[in-house]
Amino acid sequence: MKICMASDFFYPNMGGVEEHIFNLSQCLLARGHKVIVITHSYGDRKGLRHMTNGLKVYYVPIKVFYNQVVLPTMICNIPLLRYILLREQIDIVHGHSAFSTLAHETMNVAQLLGLRCVFTDHSLFGFADLSAVVTNKFLEISLANCNHCICVSHTGKENTVLRAKVHQDKVSVIPNAVDTAYFTPNPCRRPNDDETINVVVVSRLVYRKGVDLLAGILPKLKHLPNVHFIIGGDGPKRALLEEVRERNNMQDRVVMLGALEHAKVRDVLVQGHIFLNTSLTEAYCMAIVEAAACGLQVVSTKVGGIPEVLPSSLIILTEPTVESVYRGLREAIRREMEKKQITSSRYLNGSIDALAPTPSKTTYSGLCAFERNQIVTNLYNWNNVTERTEKVYRTALRDSPATLELMMRNCLRSGVWPFVLVIALCHLILRFLDWFVPRKYIDTCCTDNPFLRTNDYEQRRRSTENHILCATVRRKREKFS
């Protein structure tokens, strides 16, 4: 299959959507598919770039409008998107994120060209405020002609079905995954004393991530000198945390690292014992999965799809209130202290004493860091996610191409009839481009991935030749019999 990933969010910007697109693309390439990515330009990063294993990325020269999203014009980018999709001989366009204008525009052009479209929704939205109402209506219009949708949790599926009015049979649940070969525990990076407990927070410092809850918890722990905080991330709420730190004289116990590259997240996680997540809304929280893979005890608010992500042995769930999160964090601290007592009792003069008995006054029955990593490995891996995504692609390819009449009827169901005129105008522009720049004058790219290992390519080529030879022999036998 020839697949196009479309989104405003991609490297060098870092986040959950960007990581999902990159890892899924790499796995699809390894399985023999052709994958390209369409995103907008980032600074001087424009034009065509090649990434790991031949992943081709088109940084389209479109101006950013707001929050790394391009201006939603619907018609201005049609010539360029049409040229890319025809040149690369794309079969399926896979859009990511409801916030991404470029993803919706690319899917619209692809549908008018007769291609199949799949959309992945990575977020949860409300229904009350004005911004949510506008976003939900736009998503309903955009997904009216989408062949299939993917959500990262069952809570996210319910949310998408309700706000975008998509039939539940056209929505599949495929969670994210984590590279557990990279996010591995390293207990040697933790403090080597018997008292210090490091609590790690890695998040964008914005309201939606519950930074106000974190600011309310810090003063409650100032009487515990052995509890230290390592906070990674940046955002408008950073000033609030710095003010709370100064007011409570916790400068030596609360470390603010600022914005982190994703390649450095693991180095921060392995320094901690506990990972704290205070999000107010989440469809699927990648941060808690990465923290559990690094062997940390996770404490998280019970919102959105988070209760579906990790088993109870790896996570302590709390309500999104200061008191509830504080109680959950104290429980995690108690467990870690008991584990430290068990560990310290088995050391004698710097060497492990295997005959030392386990302390009797303990109720600790938790898991070690490497057992946590193994559980996450069994639950989430990119090969499984890729196989399930391939099934969605095959389901979409079995659908017949949408006609202009059908697309207009589907848009009319949303109640926004002016958008039918937009669809008609896009269709007329494409017909004009078919006359002005005929498809036969567009150079097509090679469908094979030349960056794949030579042995794999030769094996597939020989397999194809053997299949053709067997088919020829079979036809001759049938003819003479």
Query: pLDDT > 90: what percent of the chain?
Result: 22
Helix (H) or strand (E) holding 406: helix 404-412
**pLDDT, mean of residues 260-266:** 82
> Residues 319-363: pLDDT tens digits?
999 999 999 999 988 888 888 776 655 544 444 444 445 454 555
**pLDDT, mean of residues 440-466:** 65
Rounded to two decimals, what is the model's pTM?
0.79
Please report, for the chain, the start and end positions of each structural domain, with discontinuous segments joined by +: 2-177+384-441, 189-348+363-379
Judged against a pLDDT cut of 90, whether residue 204 lies above it is answered with: no
CA distance 116 to 170: 13
**Predicted local confidence at residue 393, as pLDDT:** 93
- Per-residue HEC secondary structure of 69-86 comes to EECCCCCCCHHHHHHHHH
CA distance 378 to 251: 40
**pLDDT, mean of residues 58-79:** 85
Higher pLDDT, 447 or 17: 17
Judged against a pLDDT cut of 60, whether residue 76 lies above it is answered with: yes
Do 64 and 462 form a contact (C-beta atoms < 8 A)? no
Local confidence band at 155 (pLDDT 50, 70, 90 cut-offs): confident
CA distance 346 to 342: 7
CA distance 277 to 298: 8
Q: Which of 133, 148, 62, 162 is nearest to 102 (CA)?
A: 62
Judged against a pLDDT cut of 50, whether residue 151 lies above it is answered with: yes
Judged against a pLDDT cut of 90, whether residue 417 lies above it is answered with: no
**Predicted local confidence at residue 352, as pLDDT:** 46
Judged against a pLDDT cut of 90, whether residue 68 lies above it is answered with: no
- Chain centroid offset of residue 224 CA: 36
Higher pLDDT, 452 or 234: 234
CA distance 421 to 409: 12
3-state secondary structure of 462: helix
Q: Which of 22, 74, 69, 17 is nearest to 42 (CA)?
A: 69
Local confidence band at 4 (pLDDT 50, 70, 90 cut-offs): very high
Judged against a pLDDT cut of 60, whether residue 458 lies above it is answered with: no
Q: What is the sign, positive or negative, of the torsion defined by CA atoms of 472, 475, 480, 481?
A: positive
Do 336 and 274 form a contact (C-beta atoms < 8 A)? yes
**Predicted local confidence at residue 59, as pLDDT:** 93
CATH homologous superfamily of 189-348+363-379 equals: Glycogen Phosphorylase B; (3.40.50.2000)
**Hey, what CATH topology would domain 2-177+384-441 get?**
Rossmann fold (3.40.50)
Structure tokens at 307: 């209760």
Local confidence band at 365 (pLDDT 50, 70, 90 cut-offs): low
